[in-house]
Amino acid sequence: MNGLIKGKEVHFDEEYLHVKLEDDRIISTPLNWYKPLKNASISQLKNYKFICLNTGIEWESIDYHLNIENMLDSSLDKVA
């Protein structure tokens, strides 16, 4: 185990960003933590790709990147 938190799926609902990890755990965080995602259209949200060995998520159409491990850090200023 290399200790990296890696994603394999991304889902959204009206309030949350859900990331399913390679070990099948799910991390859910409020969309309002990520203003660019909160303001994006459904088609933009669905247009993501995993980057950095699946440790990050990129939404190229809105020029936004998210480190999956940072979803677990409640001390970070989430609202951009």
Q: How far is CA 17 from CA 1, 51, 53, in A?
A: 26, 17, 20
What pTM value is reported for the model?
A: 0.87
8 Å CB contact between 15 and 30: yes
Q: Does residue 64 belong to any structural domain of this protein? A: yes
Tell me if 2 is assigned to some domain.
no
Please give the pLDDT value at position 73. Answer: 83
Domain contains 1: no
**Does 77 reside within a domain?**
no
Q: The CATH number of the domain where 62 resides is what?
A: 3.30.2020.40
Q: Tell me, yes or no, whether 80 lies in a domain.
A: no
Question: What are the pLDDT tens digits along the chain (80 aa)?
Answer: 357 899 999 999 999 999 999 999 999 999 999 999 999 999 999 999 999 999 999 999 999 999 999 999 876 555 54
47 within a domain of the structure (yes/no): yes
- The DSSP 8-state label assigned to residue 72 in this structure reads G
Do 74 and 64 contact (CB within 8 A), yes or no? Answer: no
- In DSSP terms, which residues pair with 18 in a beta bridge? 11, 28
Structurally, how many domains does the chain consist of?
Answer: 1
Q: What is the pLDDT of residue 71?
A: 94
What's the pLDDT score for residue 1?
39
